[in-house]
Structure 1
Amino acid sequence: MDTSQPNPENSNGPDTGTPTPLNVLRETFGYPSFRPHQAEIIDAVLAGRDVLAVMPTSAGKSICYQVPALVLGRLTVVVSPLISLMADQVGALRQLGVAAACLNSSLSPAEREGVLHDTASGHLRLLYVAPERLDDPSFLELARERGIALLAVDEAHCISQWGNDFRPSYQRIIDFIAALPKRPPVCALTATATRQAREDIEAALGLVDPFRVVASFDRPNLSFAVERPGGTKAKDRSLVEFARSRPDKSGIVYCMSRRAVETVCDLLSEQGLAATRYHAGLSPAERDRNQEDFLYDRKTIMVATNAFGMGIDKSNVNYVVHYNLPLSLENYYQEAGRAGRDGTKAECLLLYSPGDVHTAEFLLERTERDDLTPEQLEQLRAHDAERLRQMVFYATTTDCLRAFILRYFGEEAPAYCGNCSNCLADFEERDERTNALKIVSCVARVAIRCRETGAYSDAVGAGTIVDILRGSRAQKMLDRGWDALSTFGIMADVPVTHIRTLIDELVFRGVLARSAGKYPTISLTAASMPFLREDAPFMVKVAKGKPRKKRSEWAGGGASARDTAQAAETFEPSPDDEALFAELRELRSELAREQQVPPYFIFSNATLQALCRIRPATAEELLDVPGVGAKKAERYGETFLAKIAAHA
């Protein structure tokens, strides 16, 4: 973090007629105190300073520009990449009584004129716009006349060519800023950005001496798990079992392709689960309809490609499943982070299959970018290949999954978190040197035979190595003469999955190498021969089974994910608490249907749980519940207090 930090105590401000940030937070948003880093960022913005904030999902990035907008009392423009993201934020702000609007291609001419009129008249406090809107001369003229108190750039990683969702239109934001008669403070925010991406953001936006915050990437309320089903049918069974055991929970299932989305959605629907789908191949009308079904809890499961989610602020997503391997840990953590946005406990499951790696490499090879030179494109592909390699390491490691993620983003982490499948699994350490030697020897003998026969390549894929070691009698094996190798059939009694796990481990440790490309091959490295000669143990963690510890899904409504996790540890809900929670959730759904808004617009799950824990009996006590501000207390207080009293 920048060493010259603003003083967070200043967020209370002097006793003047101007609302203080803390008063705005309490009275408008209903939270008693700021989460980590929010107060410092807000003070920097109010002091007129540029900001670069990298904070994980659910850390409260939007508060960092929404509160200053209300304190300043003038127009704040928020650049946002997706229509759905704008609509979600604007809808939530209007529930709080905040004058907010968005300007994008989904509006009718009359709606667009209404927004422009409200902007020109000074009625709006927050205006969300797509980056392309900044290219419009008429909008620039409006901004010049009206004046902008603050420019917030959300999802700022989109500006970096090395980010996980690069958008060229973001790189023209700097031209818009330069054209304004008075440069406003610029606040750039993102959930995931490596050091290189952060440097790109600063340069591309022309940030001046920015106040920098790189918050902890840790999400204590999320549990991480990786399962390695053997084949598509086993993967399908794992997914169905997982979803079926959470019938009242809301979840997202991410797939790598449109075809996989269709197949998985049909599978879940056939099993009686309330699933819908989202991908770019659907008509806009169907995408909107399916998205609304999910947001309004009419469907509990959304099966989607990564086209879904960036613009979704749905706070009550209880789990995220990756049916296929993501292309990078940046993508994975951003998508998995859509679970538990309100701070309640949530689950993130990755179903790993080695075949997904081949598909991912094929997709990366097809990357085309008109805005890059051939040399830049080659650099990008090499960068993407390394990111995929790290993703595979995550999927195959037996170390703590949370520690792996945090270290990837440059953050120190303990070796044991107690809340991931590896830390909770029943592992035993086993010396697999004999089997590892057999595998490396097989790769070496394959290379020798290929050179002797003049084969096109001196390496083969992992599948062929497994078939040789297990002694497959398939015709293609006999035609190539693999049955003549001394390693043919020497691991016939070892399961395929175990051999593949050992191959992954050997690659991870650098004893073997896996090539990139559509058909990756396994080959020797400089470490292979020393490994064959040495006599040191090759210790590998092997799962004996995965008995999960019983963990309450309840979480308190604290001010941060870490606070929430701690509150959950000290508060165990009784059956009566759970019963009241169900009643309040049904009441929330009724109100949402009446108003035609998503249920989480009314109150988040964390707020409902806090209501059950605190059991307020008066309007004053209700305002002490995190997430209940003055406007929501006025709108819904009497109804919820009556329900709590009736339950008692």
Structure 2
Amino acid sequence: NLPLTPFEQALCVQARTKQNTFELTQSLEQIKAQLPDVTFDPQETSLIEQIPYVYPQHEFVFVAPSETQESASVNFADWMDEPDLAKRAKLCLQKCFGLHEFRGLQEEIINSLLQQQDTLAVMATGMGKSLCYQVPGMCLPGVTLVVSPLIALMEDQVAQLQANGIGAAIYNGNTSPQERNEIFRKIQEGTCKFLYVSPEKLASTYTLQEITRLPVSLIAVDEAHCVSQWGHDFRPDYRNLYRLRQYLGNYVPMLACTATARVSTRYDIAENLQLANPNVFIGDFNRPNISLQVTPVENIGLAYHKILRLCKEQENLPAIIYCLSRNSTQKLSDYLNRHGVEATYYHAGLSSQEREANYQMFMRGEVEVMVATIAFGMGVNKSNIRMVAHLDYPSTLENYYQEIGRAGRDGEKAKAVLFDIPIGRDWRIGQIYQEVENKPVVDKEQAYQELLHVDMEQQRIEEHPEKSPEMKFKKLKEVFDFCDTANCRRRVLLSAFNQVLEHDCGNCDVCLESNLIQDKIEIKEDAHFILGLVAVGKGFLGADTIKQMIMRKTSIAAELERAWRLKLNYCQSQAEFDQVIADLNKVDSWQERISVKTQEAYQYGHKYWQAVIEQLLELGYLSYDRKYSYLHLTKLGSQLLKQKGVVKAARIPDLVKKNIYTLSLLRDLETIRVEMGRVTGVRYDAILSDPAMLAISEKLPQDEEQLLQIDGITKTKAKRFGKFIFEAVGRYLKRLSLQDISAK
């Protein structure tokens, strides 16, 4: 009956780990209340950690959440009653996430996890890695534990799950004991299906012991390349995630997913996480919608100027610009703002409040350009980024691939621009010496000699290879080789991941410029051709768009329609709208001629057409809108154009006449999602994505059944926001009906 020492009491607590979570919490609180002034001896504490731990084998009991419970809006019976797991996954995809088909390797990965197999998935950014653990997480009883490296990334995914009526929570260093108890209660009830945890939180033995008391049915390690590539410098606690297997046992399947992993990295991930005979799925690394460009510039000032011109082109926005130093991000951001481009910056030196504020400004579209260090890399889930630019050289091709992967996740065309500045190479080599050897480089020639002899270096680095100067120089040399290559850049980039492209991509600067034939061109004919394109564009086509049209990298009809839409969007009244239509009807029909012309123009190459446009600007036939980078005909240009005669005029298609109303519908939908995001605290594009908005404007759903046919619309979203969408569609149809009546 003697009172227990703190050490003995701790042993008692540890012996009761199979009991209910809430009883254990109460016991701990009672011990703390009885011993308010007692502290544990550090030596005794270390002994506690050495005692073998008994891993509880949970008997999973699925508890279907009540419809009245606030945190759950989905009806689990819609798919959980299906005994076939593969069919259950397809039902879940439709009922939970509003999607009708799996993409790429998603279905195979999900089936692997449902069969209790450890799985390694390497998929390009934008291919839906999160669904690979969210769908099985909803098909299995218990909770899915998701390890994620960034708070912003966790918050974003939790918000999207909650928008679909799925219970999810974050457990990190900011979680209070009261919040933790509430989260664990919901997990035990079955109303919280996903628990997002940071790797730092899992470094704590106490946290791991807490996790073992939860009914964990699946572990997902997101951005798993941090285990190998960034494990020592950026996320050391990723290297300790193998302890999850020690505490939870091998009976819980684990998914390791990443967008970036060479063969050596894949082996390292599987070994470090102790994946048991994992099924390995390697997706296609090729992102053909991203145009790869390397732009040589003599100095940083010219690079700033070229970045400004790129950011003036609306087709390149939103954009992310990566810099190596924190100071560079702020300088470039200030430069862009001074010249009329709304930009902000992001780096690890800002306070958490500043980082969050700048991040949200970019995600909400309040600014179009984010200038950032790589600290911004993994936290971005913005599908419509049109350009990723690098002011400085990335340290490896893996980093480069990971960062440019933020562009074009919606599948639309995007570009990646890497600025090749000679002085930047010297600085990058010197930086490696300072990082690795901790000494300044006094002999630039010595640095280059080291770089040139990388290929001859055969020494095997047994421990921490990524910290060796040989390895860092080798990876940097790959980046320089990528910049210097005369071959298809996409082939070079994909070869770093052991993927062979059978033919040149046709969408990198090397491929686009390979057919430069200047000596066979009549400049007068081609000048007239460019002037005609500018005329048809009515001041809403930029130089890059025109070049893309000529090089057949974009749809001629689509670009002309886009320009007309922009023109019509500036109308302030019905009379002005009618006048624009009348003006457009007078414009010569160039589309047929363009289609024929581009068949012969393609061979001349990108640089030639750039030279033609620049010459027309210098001679005064074209003017340049510095705010939006659009090209306009001058009086001199109009006179030159008229000298060639006219082609038979054609009426503007009826579809274009409706565009002013379609745009008003899209504006209404934009207002709805922004306002609903403000009220609910959910990011606006998680409520209604851009593709969903476009689909609504085309299909015009007027009831819930029709709305559910659109990808991304779940029952939860239809119930929450459907009323507002139907009202917007009704207003659109009414305006369109009035227009048809007036036309008659």
Identify whether the pair has TM-score above 0.5, normalized to the shorter chain.
yes
Pair 1:311-2:383 in alignment: no
SS in 2 for 1:591: helix
Q: Is 1:131–1:173's contact at 8 Å kept on the other side of the alignment? A: yes
CA 1:321–1:108 in structure 2 vs 1: closer, same or farther (change >3 Å)?
Answer: farther
Displacement after TM superposition at 1:109 (Å): 4.8
**Corresponding residue of 1:584:** 669
In structure 2, give the amino acid aligned to 1:609.
L
The answer to whether the aligner puts 1:124 opposite 2:192 as a matched pair is yes
Give the letter aligned to residue 724 of structure 2.
Answer: T
User: Which residue of 300, 307, 317 corresponds with 1:239?
Assistant: 307
**2:205 maps to which residue?**
137
Q: Give how far 1:378 is off.
A: 7.9
Query: What pairs with 1:401-440 in structure 2 (closer than 5 Å)?
Result: 401-425=489-513, 427-428=515-516
Deviations 1:320-379 (A, max 9, x none): 121222111111111111122233332222222122222222232233599x99974686
* Greater shift in the superposed pair: 277-286 or 183-192: 277-286
Q: Partners in 2 of 1:296 and 1:244 — Cα distance?
A: 19
Verify: 1:380 aligned to 2:468, yes or no: yes
Contact 1:230-1:353 at 8 Å conserved across structures: yes
Q: Of residues 460, 484, 487 in structure 2, which corresponds to 1:399?
A: 487
Alignment of 1:465-484 (within 5 A): none
Alignment match, 2:700: 615
1:606 maps onto 2:691 in alignment: yes
- Given the superposition, is the C-alpha separation of residues 244 and 147 from structure 1 closer, same or farther in structure 2, using an over 3 Å criterion? same
Task: Give the corresponding residue for 1:636.
Answer: 721
| Aligned CA distance change for structure 1 residues 605 and 401 (closer, same or farther; 3 Å) | farther
Would you say the 8 A contact 1:159–1:166 is kept in 2? no
SS of structure 2 residue aligned to 1:367: helix
1:13–1:590 Cα change, 3 Å: closer
Is this contact kept in 1: 2:171–2:180, CA < 8 A?
yes
Question: 2: distance between equivalents of 1:165 and 1:364?
Answer: 14
Alpha-carbon distance change, 418 to 641 in structure 1, aligned in 2, over 3 angstroms: farther
1:386 is aligned with what amino acid? K
After TM superposition, list the pairs within 5 Å mapping 1:407-556 onto structure 2: 407-425=495-513, 427-428=515-516, 544-545=607-608, 547=610
Q: Distance in 2 between matches of 1:586 and 1:169?
A: 42
Render the CA deviation track for 1:417-452: whole Å, top value 9, x for unaligned. 23333333364499xxxxxxxxxxxxxxxxxxxxxx
Matches of 2:463 and 2:206, distance apart in 1: 38
Note the residue ranges of structure 1 that are not aligned, 5 or more in a row: 1-11, 431-540, 549-572
Partner of 1:98: 166
CA contact (8 A) 2:465 2:471 kept: no
* Aligned ranges 1:61-460 → 2 under 5 Å: 61-161=129-229, 167-180=235-248, 183-246=251-314, 249-367=317-435, 376=464, 380-425=468-513, 427-428=515-516
Question: In structure 2, what residue type is equivalent to 1:608?
Answer: M
1:301–1:378: structure 2 CA closer, same or farther, 3 Å change rule? closer
For CA contacts below 8 A with separation 6 or more, give which structure has more relative contact order: 1
Q: CA, structure 1 residues 305+84, in 2 after alignment: closer, same or farther (shift >3 Å)?
A: same
State the distance in 2 between where 1:131 and 1:242 align: 38
- Please tell me whether Structure 1 or Structure 2 has the larger radius of gyration of its CA atoms: 2
SS at match of 2:216: coil
Q: d(CA) in 2 for partners of 1:427 and 1:603?
A: 43
| Distance verdict in 2 for CA 1:163–1:427, change over 3 Å | farther
**1-structure distance, mates of 2:721, 2:324:** 41
| Residues 498-526 of structure 1 deviation map (CA, whole Å, 9 limit, x = unaligned) | xxxxxxxxxxxxxxxxxxxxxxxxxxxxx
Change (3 A) 1:186 1:302: same
Contact between 1:135 and 1:176, CA under 8 Å: does it hold in 2? no
Deviation at 1:117, TM superposition (A): 3.6
Structure 1 counterpart of 2:128: 60
Q: Is contact 1:83-1:106 (8 Å) kept?
A: no
Aligned AA (2:684) = P
Can you give the 5+ residue segments of structure 2 that lack an aligned partner in the other structure? Answer: 1-78, 439-459, 519-603, 612-654, 734-744
- Judged with a 3 Å threshold, the aligned counterparts in structure 2 of structure 1 residues 151 and 15 are, in CA distance, closer, same or farther, namely closer
CA contact (8 A) 1:344 1:605 kept: no
Helix, strand or coil at the partner of 1:225: strand
**1:527: which partner in 2?**
none
Secondary structure class of the residue paired with 2:314: coil
Q: Which deviates more from structure 2 when the two are superposed, residues 53-62 or residues 308-317?
A: 308-317
Per the alignment, in what secondary structure is the counterpart of residue 61 of structure 1?
Answer: coil
Structure 1 residues 357, 644: CA separation in 2 closer, same or farther (over 3 Å shift)?
Answer: farther
Letter in 2 for 1:637: G
- RMSD of equivalent CA atoms: 3.2
Cα distance in 2 between the residues matched to 1:368 and 1:169: 22
Match of 2:596 in 1: none
Q: How far apart in 2 are the matches of 1:13 and 1:429?
A: 63
- 1:418 and 1:617 mapped to 2: Cα distance? 43
CA contact (8 A) 2:513 2:605 kept: no
The secondary structure found in structure 2 opposite 1:131 is coil
* Higher alpha-carbon deviation: 313-322 or 420-429: 420-429
Summarize deviations over 1:451-480 as a string: whole Å, max 9, x none: xxxxxxxxxxxxxxxxxxxxxxxxxxxxxx
Q: Distance in 1 between matches of 2:466 and 2:194?
A: 41
The amino acid across from 2:485 in the alignment is: T
Listed one character per residue, the Cα deviations across residues 221-258 of structure 1 (whole Å, up to 9, x for unaligned) are: 32222222332221111111111222893221111111
For the residues of structure 2 that align with 1:418 and 1:622, how far apart are their CA atoms? 38
Residue aligning to 2:99: 31
- For the Cα contact (< 8 Å) 2:163–2:682, is it kept in 1? no
Query: In 2, distance between residues paired with 1:420 and 1:646?
Result: 44
SS at match of 2:121: strand
Correspondence for 2:119: 51
Structure 1 residue 86, shift from structure 2 partner? 0.9
Match for 1:423: what amino acid?
C
SS of corresponding position for 1:413? coil
SS at match of 1:321: strand
CA contact (8 A) 1:623 1:630 kept: yes
Alpha-carbon distance, 1:129 to partner: 0.4
* Aligned-pair CA distance for 1:279: 0.8
DSSP 3-state at the match of 1:107: coil
Moved more, 44-53 or 415-424: 415-424
Query: 1:426 touches 1:544 (CA, 8 Å); kept in 2?
Result: no
Aligned length: 505
> Cα deviation per residue 1:14-70 (whole Å; 9 max; x = unaligned)?
944988111111111111110011111111101110000000101111101000010
Give, in angstroms, the shift of residue 297 of structure 1.
1.9
| Contact 1:421/1:546, CA 8 A, preserved across alignment | no
AA of the residue aligned to 2:728: K
Paired residue for 2:66?
A: none
Separation in structure 2 between the aligned mates of residue 152 and residue 302 of structure 1, nearest angstrom: 29
Instruction: Name the CA distance, whole Å, in 2 between partners of 1:417 and 1:598.
Output: 35
Question: Per-residue displacement from partner, 1:65-90 (whole Å, max 9, x unpaired)?
Answer: 00001000311101111111111111
**Contact persistence 2:494–2:501 (CA under 8 A):** yes
What secondary structure does 1:149 align onto?
strand
Asked if the contact 1:426/1:547 (under 8 Å) is kept, the reply is no
